[in-house]
Amino acid sequence: MISKEELQNITESILLSEKDNFIDKTIFFVEARVSNDNRMTINIDSFEGIKIDDCAKLSKLIEEKFDREEEDFELSVSSAGLDKPLKVIKQYQKNIGKTVKFQTVEGEKFKGILKEVSEEGIVLIPEKSKKKKKNKDIEQKSELTFEFEHIKQVKLVITF
């Protein structure tokens, strides 16, 4: 069986390879999943956006690394998706200035503008709440800082 780590390593090496110059170098790896029946899913993202051609090219290059005679598998390569939680720092960097909602591991929920991203965490400009808050200190702060270890999930707020 193909491991998630093996799939991730192969994908990242292809994305970083100089010889595969027809792969857009702004594309970055987000996540790999492998089911018990060898259904492999790769999620990628880019500062420029992901095109179907990008997914097809990457899929072909990944498939070339495996031997179907040795191991049967199904491979799907797609964009990370706007409705999915942010997983890697580059996704946070891509979305600076956009509205996000997130939950801490302690269960607190916040919504606001993503202002900054570092290796340690994020800075958020909180949205002013119309509801009365139990803790008015949070409402009065112009910026909130959260370390990644205290963040459970962050998603983009999609507006039209």
Pairing of the two strands 109-117 and 121-126: antiparallel
Show the tokens assigned to 29: 């790896």
Q: What pTM did the predictor assign? A: 0.84
Residues forming beta bridges with residue 98, ordered by sequence position: none
Residue whose pair of structure tokens reads 């990242």 in the numeric block = 12
**Does the pLDDT value for residue 19 go beyond 80?**
no
In the chain, domain spans? 4-79, 89-156
Segment 29-42, tens digit of pLDDT:
999 999 999 999 99
Quick one: pLDDT at residue 134?
Answer: 55
Domains 4-79 and 89-156 share a fold: no
Q: What CATH number has the domain spanning 4-79?
A: 3.30.300
Q: Which of 2-6, 77-81, 108-112, 135-139 has the lowest mean pLDDT?
A: 135-139
Quick one: pLDDT at residue 131?
Answer: 54
Give 19 or 29, the one with higher predicted confidence: 29
**Does the pLDDT value for residue 81 go beyond 60?**
yes
Q: What is d(CA 43, CA 78) in angstroms, rounded to the nearest whole number?
A: 5
| C-alpha 150 chain-centroid distance | 17
Segment 120-139, tens digit of pLDDT:
999 999 987 655 555 555 55
Quick one: pLDDT at residue 135?
Answer: 54
Q: Assign domain 89-156 to a CATH class.
A: mainly beta
CB of 9 closer than 8 Å to CB of 47: no
Q: In what order do the strands lie in the sheet with 74-79?
A: 27-34, 39-46, 74-79
Q: What is d(CA 32, CA 38) in angstroms, rounded to the nearest whole number?
A: 12
Nearest to 81 by CA among 42, 38, 23, 114: 42
